[in-house]
Chains A and B, each alone.
Chain A
């Protein structure tokens, strides 16, 4: 094999004809060997601006009723939280019984509040939920909590979006929209926002005071409450339909932003077809993981309710864990306490990307946002994949 080494020697011959290497030696000789440590400012700034993790202390809890609470978080070390674009989320990372559980939650405060040292997140209790239940029941003022840096792409992009935005939202999906409204009031964002906010009834409406406060400051934000199970003066009733959107959009060009539960998107997708909106003008927030995969086309019915065996390779470790066919594969990893990196939990961000070594999985088309070459070479996003046989996967390290 010493042949390989010779490859490079030939170039030395050129030295007979060039004086460059001599100049190089001179330059090196003349330099000082005393310089210590390399500091790269761009790298330091980048790390500051995109922290992997932010450690907070809960400063205030606001009960919003209907099983919804807002948490004002201040950085533990006194520095300001990373600046974000209104509409972005953070991933809450909470240890429960020694297992790290993560869930994305939108920031409900405005970006300007980071300059006062805080962000606010708002959590809605999900009936058969896990982390939301834990948070609502356990988080108290003074507790230390951890989140990711700001993530997500659901924000106003002036180069793409029209000056006029109609936002359709339902449930806790109102939080990123509220942040946008606040950003308009503080001058961080500049567009006209009409919010069509769907709730079952008046009791369910969240953040009425916050919106009133925003609208007192700016006439660029309008709020229309749409009640599906109640009729009342000053409120629209029914669902957010194409006609309703048209009514409030008027004749100007507009972008439609949607943020709500899976069922709202299923409904809206049909309405936007009727409106003839192209994809540039129809932006949807991720809604998290698909629930009840067996209701989706292409699901092999016999897999439902089964528990499969999942072999997991993680660097130099190997595990065998149960994987409930009804839950996405990231949940199986979380239940086993071995979940690696994850953020959006809706198939989009690619953070949980893993190699499927063997076995079969069901990947709902709705949330299949894998890279082209990943599809070709058998990589999956566990948060958007469901085991339909015993499987073996290789996942990134979880530390």
Chain B
């Protein structure tokens, strides 16, 4: 057996990277194992010809800047991760239909004032309820800081200081926004971000959704200057600096137990001894293939049975490199949502079919001028699916045809909505599907999002169950399937927090 480690982190996705760095910062002897030949999972990049593409990032929230650091910003600072961020000035343009069927074409800037001004312009009468809405999500921000500051929470204090947070946090987002008397059309505009949490407004908990809007709108989003591979490299660099060890192209096959406590990991490089494991692997896969069946807690079997059909959003990404600049082409926005309807419940149902109208266009060069060589640009389209069935039932031939159809659809979307024909300028084009993500990430059905944050299984509900869920000695799950849900920020926070718990266990055990 190889040298004994305090912690083995299996999988180097966003959660794994964050956890691994957090462990070495806390002075733990840490090994990071990754089955792929490079780290990052979805936080990566790939090259085609003279272009480099980011496989996934649209916008990253909760980083903040200067002395207004967000939760993520604080973690990065604490762990010595310094990324070259670029701030995203506008939220989005959205071309869709309002819930009542009338056409929508709105461009929404970031920043509370500008955001409210813009919505008031499109939907007169929104200002007053929106001011209340922003006061509320600001209160939620403060409540969150209080709850996460590492000291016990006093219900009386919370009642006094965060009364509205407590009043609303048990409800879905649609109900709360309606209760605030926000006009439906304005709700439609605010709700454009719903897919980033994977479930519609009438399902997603307001605490979670409201906080996301606060992070995107008030605090503004950022993106890495040189693709998310750069973020990954920054994590890795810090990890090595503090003595971390990483094994690539090495697969963790099985978790090893001494009685009911983890004692090591069986890998394609042999067995590794350790006290704690942080597994950046979906629990479905851990329980099915990676540990003794008799050690899987009854409650966990039930939880994953209850979640069986609740795998969250699957994605297709269509990447183009064009041999003209955004300016020459007239692509002026960083991010444009093309949605069939702004009614999130209806759209969620539409997303069950791969032939849906939903699409998100990102034109990177608009905020990162050197995202590609001069005179060119890189753009991507994101298509969403709330079901994976269509993908799993295709023959190879149908699969290639479906990919071509996606490309056609993207070209058509830009033509129809923006009156721009990109066809003559395509120098590179690549399509990633749920299959592609399944292949590279190994997540169930290729979802990078974990489990739907359904009303019964939202982030708050999961956090209150943090001790009951995944109750296995020395083994913890981190990643999008864990308590904090999907997204770069959430999984970094989740990785860091869970590493904190593992390190605390180690200290209790006298390490």
A interface residues, Cβ below 8 angstroms from B: 1-21, 23-25, 27-35, 37-38, 40-47, 49-50, 83, 153, 157-160, 278-280, 315-316, 340-341, 348, 350-353, 369, 371-374, 376-377, 379, 396-399
Contact = CB atoms under 8 A, between A and B. Distances in A.
Size band of the interface chain B makes with A: 35 or more
Nearest to A5: B504
A49 B399 contact: yes
Given A5-B501, A159-B404, 12 more contacts: A4-B503, A31-B305, A32-B305, A40-B445, A41-B393, A43-B444, A45-B435, A46-B435, A316-B247, A316-B270, A396-B37, A397-B250
B43 to A, nearest CB: 11
A41 B392 contact: yes
A353 B50 CA distance: 18
Contact of B303 (A10, A28, A376): A28
A372 B52 contact: yes
Chain B interface mostly: helix
Interface of B: 2-3, 37-38, 45-50, 52, 146-155, 158, 166-167, 169-170, 205, 226-227, 229-230, 232-233, 236-237, 247-250, 268-270, 284-285, 287-288, 298-299, 301-306, 308, 314, 323, 388, 391-394, 396-397, 399, 404, 407, 411, 423, 425-429, 434-436, 438-439, 442, 444-446, 455-458, 460-466, 497, 500-501, 503-504, 507-508
A341 B391 contact: no
Contact of B45 (A20, A28, A371): A371
A379 B248 CA distance: 14
A27 B150 contact: no
Contacts of B397: 83
A29 B404 CA distance: 45
Contact of B323 (A17, A280, A316, A396): A280
Contacts of A21: 460-461, 464-465
B264 to A, nearest CB: 13
A9 B467 CA distance: 9
A28 B147 contact: no
Contacts of B305: 31-35
B507 A372 contact: no
A376 B250 CA distance: 25
A331 to B, nearest CB: 18
B47 A371 contact: yes
Contacts of B147: 10-11
A45 B423 CA distance: 31
B285 A30 contact: no
A268 to B, nearest CB: 16
Contact of B233 (A2, A6, A376, A397): A376
Contacts of B399: 49
B439 A47 contact: yes
A267 B1 CA distance: 55
B438 A42 contact: yes
A370 B148 CA distance: 40
Contacts of B392: 41-42, 44-45
Contacts of A341: 37, 249
